[in-house]
């Protein structure tokens, strides 16, 4: 599928005033869902993900502090 644009973005956490990097985002018009490489995301931001039944956490790798909480 053709890639129309490559960009960089970030997620900002109000909880601890931290930005998480999303480099090399690809705009592919024919894909109807937003996809993320979990492996690349955790490597780029020095974090890890903790999944539970109804939610997940993004935690800092060095302190185990919760940066974001999301709904699964």
Compute the mean pLDDT over every residue in the chain, rounded to the nearest whole number: 91
Share of the chain above pLDDT 90, in %: 69
* HEC letters along the chain: CCCCEEEEEEEEECCCCEEEEEEEEEECCCCCCCCCCHHHHHHHHCEEEEECCCEEEEEECCCCCEEEEEEC
pLDDT tens profile 10-45: 988 776 778 899 999 999 999 999 888 999 999 999
pLDDT at 11: 84
């Amino acid at each position: 599928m053709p890639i129309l644009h490559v960009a960089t973005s970030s997620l900002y956490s109000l909880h601890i005033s931290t930005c998480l990097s999303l480099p090399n985002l690809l705009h592919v018009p024919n894909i109807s869902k937003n996809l993320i490489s979990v492996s690349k995301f955790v490597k780029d931001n020095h974090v890890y993900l903790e999944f539970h039944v109804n939610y997940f956490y993004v935690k800092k790798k060095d302190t185990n502090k919760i940066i974001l909480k999301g709904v699964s």
